[in-house]
Amino acid sequence: MSKTFSAFLIMFLVAGAPLNANPVERACMGSNRSAANPSLCACIGSAARQTLNFGEQRRAARLFDDPDEAEDLRMSDNHRDEAFWDRYRAFGQAAEQMCG
């Protein structure tokens, strides 16, 4: 078991993937935005950790790749979508204050 874990750990270290990066930070780094850099993405990831639970972070990360999904979510009449959108906006405001 420990050999498997060691191999897994080495694979991530060699690949350069940050082990502590949350889904939002990884999505930021994987985006094609010219302003994306490790420092900014780490800051945005930190804002996500402070304002969103892990499931919400995963959902927010998907919005980096699909702006149409973000628009659909914003326009949704579903109370869960509306509640998430409120938290997502709070995340955006926190990220702007922390990283702007």
pLDDT of residue 34: 83
* pTM metric for this prediction: 0.74
> Average model confidence (pLDDT) for the chain?
83
Tens of pLDDT, residue by residue over 80-100, are 999 999 999 999 999 999 998
Q: Which of 3-7, 37-41, 63-67 has the highest mean pLDDT?
A: 37-41
* DSSP, residue by residue, the chain: -HHHHHHHHHHHHHHT--TT--HHHHHHHHS--TT--HHHHHHHHHHHHHHS-HHHHHHHHHHHH-HHHHHHHHH---HHHHHHHHHHHHHHHHHHHHH-
pLDDT(21) > 90: no
